[in-house]
Structure formats: structure tokens, C-alpha cells
Amino acid sequence: MRSDKSEYFFNLIDDNIFDWEDEEEISEKETAVTYGYANEKQELRELTKKIELDPYESFNYLERGWAYIRYERFKDALQDANKAIEIDPELDSYILRGSVYCKLENFEDALQDANTAAQIEFNNEAYLLRGWINYKLKKFEDAFHDANVAIEIKGEFNSYLLRGWANFQLKNFEDGLQDAIESILDEPDYYFRANRLIKALRLYMYFSENAHKELVISSREVSKNIYYKGYHKLQLGKFTAAIEDFNKVIEFDHEDACAFHFRGIAKLKLKHFNEAIEDFNKAIEIDPEDAFSFHSRGIAKLESKRFIEAIEDFNKCIEIEVNVFNAPVDAESFKFRGIAKYFIMDYENSIDDFNESIKVNSDDYESFKFRGIAKYFLDKYIDSMKDLDQAIKLNPNDLESSQIRKQAFKKSQ
């Protein structure tokens, strides 16, 4: 019972960290057929008959309760869960009700049921359910602990996936990557479920010396080595050679968003801005929530003096990082958006972005430089000199900052 029905909670949990777009849409008929029925009505009718024949068997209510969850009839599922608990307050009954409470976004009651389930039996599904609930409640340490226990009992892809997300939130990125890999190794057919985690990790590991290790993860062994070579060449500054390798990956798989993205990066480095934008367009078309492609396209548009469009891309990048990945925004996104606003003479708002950038990275001389120049144009000469002094301290070779600093000093007298 548990191995079949409780899986639906983890398959259908409504959480923006998951991306099921790579999975084929399951129609009502296909869902029912999986369990030997023609459609939803027949399945529920047959399950109701079982209850009528034996109204004191908790298993019958559990079976219909999971069916109600699949058809998003959560209040009906809750009634069946309550009845199952009334008849037999055992593990499966509390897992069902805890799962229903999750679908109803009643996480406190869901947590109470998960706790009860874990007390009844030392069971991986009880800890896994509790772990996901703790994750939803942003109790990431508790989620990590529950995932560890679930893995200790029975290591499976959902447990590794949970621990991977907990590690991501706790900024243990290398450990999170290893969990993503373990998840894929346990269930290779469900690669797409780990894919969102890998994308999130990629945002924070891109500049790591070990980043290529996670970027070559692919279910397609033929393209994996070429992908690795392309990324390695990109890191070495061999941009033309990297483009050739990513061309080969794209020939093999026209829907590989990462290949388009990194080919775009190579073109961006070569200052082929329009071609780079085309590749980022394709990456975003494949994966509309690829924050890093929006970021990179924004830089290409900034270099092309398409400032309004660049601002729009940085807006989208920041939105995805905050709302989809529930992660802190990278300082670079604020800085480059601020630079774009600076060039359209939106100085006040550009200063706001530089403020955010400096909060995250207090050693970024460009943020101090452009904030100082923006303040100069707003006649805030004293504040301008302070920022320009810091920019010059961080980059003594920046002549422009020195020149404007001199002008600010003269006008402040």
C-alpha cells in the first residue's frame, strides 16, 4: 500500500522548486488506466463499492483517499483519511492525512501527522514526508535531518532529492550536487526530477573550479564527454574551440538548454553579441526559468546598448532567483541592472541597485564607481567622493574614477 499510494504525495506535491514540464502530462484516462480502470468515475465507483462491502476495512478508505488526491479532490481525501484513522490509527493512515494536509497547505497539521507516523514506525516514508513538510516550513536543518534518517532506513531518489534541496538552502552546494547525482543513480528514468536542483546549484557553482563536474551530468553518455570538453575550453578562454564542442552537443540534442547557454557565453566573450543573444533566446525558450540565461542575455544586451531590454532581463533573473529558487540574489544581477539604469540616466534607481550589490559584495569596485558617478550627476558630491575613493582603492588603475572624483571635489567647494 505505502509503496504505491504514498508515492503520489511526492509526485504531485505543489512546490515551485519542482519542474514537471519535462514529464508527459498525465490525462485522467491514463491515471485511471494505471490502476486498471477506464476513467475517474469508474475508479471511484469501484473503490466506493469496496467500502460499501466492507466499511470497517481501513485499507479501502486509504485506497480511495489516494485516488481522491490524484483527482485533486482533497476534501474528500481528508474525509477518507479521517475515517481510516478512526478505524485503524496506523502508519499509512497518518501518511495519507499528512499528505492531504500538505495539498491543502495546512502544514502545521501535516507536520503533526508526520510526527505521529514517525512515532508509530521507524519508516522512511514517514521521515520523508516530515522532511518535505519541514522544507515547506523553511526548517531546512530539520528537513536535512529527516532526509538523513530516511536515507539511513532506505536510500531512494526522493530522499536524496530532499537532502539535496536542504543542502542547497544550507549552502552546502557540493553536498547538494552529490545528492542530486545519487538521486539520478537510484532512478535514472526520473532524471528530470533532479534537473531543477542541478539548475539551482549551477547558479551558485558556476565559478567554482569544480563546476564542470555538475555541468556534465547528463543521461546521454554520448554528449557528456563533449560537454565536459566544451566547458573546460570555455574556462581556459578557448572560446572558438568551446563553441565547436557545444555545436556537437546541440547536434545531438536540440533541446539541451545548457549547451545553448554556454555556447552563448563563449560568443559573448568573443563580443559576438547578437549571436550570443540568439543562443540565450533558445536556452530560455527551452527553459523559461533559467535565471542564468536571462542574466547572460542581459549582459549581451547591455554591451549592445539595448539598455531597456537589458533591465527587463535582469528583472526576470532576479524574480526567478527569489521566487523559484527561494535563493539570495547574486550581486552581479543588481550591479548590471544598476549599470543599465545608469546609462538611461535613471540615477536614483541605479543607486538602489548598487546599494544591493554592495550589500552582497563590498569589494566590487564597479558598483562603487557607478554609484559614485550617479551621485555626482545628482549633485551629491560628498557622497560621490566617498564612493569614488573606495572604487579607486579597489582598482587604483581606474582613471575615470579619479577624474570624476577631482571634478566632484571642485564642485563641492
pLDDT of residue 356: 93
> Is residue 63 classed exposed, middle or buried when 0-12, 13-18 and 19+ CB atoms within 10 A define those classes?
buried
Q: Is residue 271 part of a domain?
A: no
| Block residue for cell numbers 536614483 | 348
Contacts of 280 (CB under 8 A, 6+ apart): 260, 261, 264, 293, 294, 296, 297, 300
Q: Is 6 domain-assigned?
A: yes
Output the pLDDT for position 342: 96
Helix (H) or strand (E) holding 242: helix 239-252
Angle at 232 between CA 231 and CA 234, to 5 degrees: 60
Give a yes or no: residue 189 inside a domain: no
Each residue's pLDDT tens digit, 208-226: 444 444 444 433 444 556 7
> Cell numbers of 198, please?
542541478
Alpha-carbon distance of 245 to 124, in angstroms, equals 43
Find the domain containing 389 and state its range: 339-413
pLDDT of residue 15: 41
Greatest Cα-to-Cα distance within the chain, rounded to the nearest angstrom: 94
Which pLDDT belongs to residue 14? 33
pTM over 0.85: no
Contact present, 325 and 292 (Cβ < 8 Å):
no
pLDDT, residue 142, reads 96
Non-local (6+) Cβ contacts of 212 within 8 A are 228, 231, 232, 235
In a domain, 317, yes or no: no
So what's the pLDDT on residue 209? 43
Asked whether the CA dihedral 11, 12, 16, 20 is positive or negative, the reply is: positive
Residue ending a domain, choose from 154, 182, 197: 154
Residue 12's identity, in one-letter code, is L
CA 3/CA 17 separation, integer angstroms: 23
- Ranges in the chain, pLDDT < 50: 1-30, 207-222
Does 250 map to a domain? no
For 124, residues 6+ apart whose C-beta sits below 8 A from its C-beta are 149, 150, 151, 153, 154, 156, 159
Whether 277 is covered by a domain: the verdict is: no
| Domain-terminating residue out of 93, 127, 154 | 154
408 inside domain: yes
Of 196, 188, 189, nearest in space to 162 by CA: 196
Q: Is the CB of residue 358 less than 8 Å from the CB of residue 364?
A: yes
Q: What is the predicted pLDDT for the residue at 191?
A: 60
Asked if residues 368 and 391 have their Cβ atoms less than 8 Å apart, the reply is: yes
Question: Is residue 134 domain-resident?
Answer: yes
Q: How many domains does the chain have?
A: 2
Q: Could you say which of 133, 154, 175 is where a domain stops?
A: 154
Give CA–CA dist 335/352, Å, rounded. Answer: 10
Task: Return the C-alpha cell found at 101.
Answer: 494536509
Q: What is the pLDDT of residue 42?
A: 84
116: Cβ contacts below 8 Å, ≥ 6 apart: 94
pLDDT at 189: 57
DSSP letter string, 262-323 = HHHHHHHHTT-HHHHHHHHHHHHHH-TT-HHHHHHHHHHHHHTT-HHHHHHHHHHHHHHHHH
Question: Looking at this protein, which amino acid is placed at residue 361?
Answer: N
The CATH number covering residue 42 comes to: 1.25.40.10
Q: What is the pLDDT of residues 57-93, one digit of tens each?
A: 999 999 999 999 988 899 999 999 999 999 999 999 9
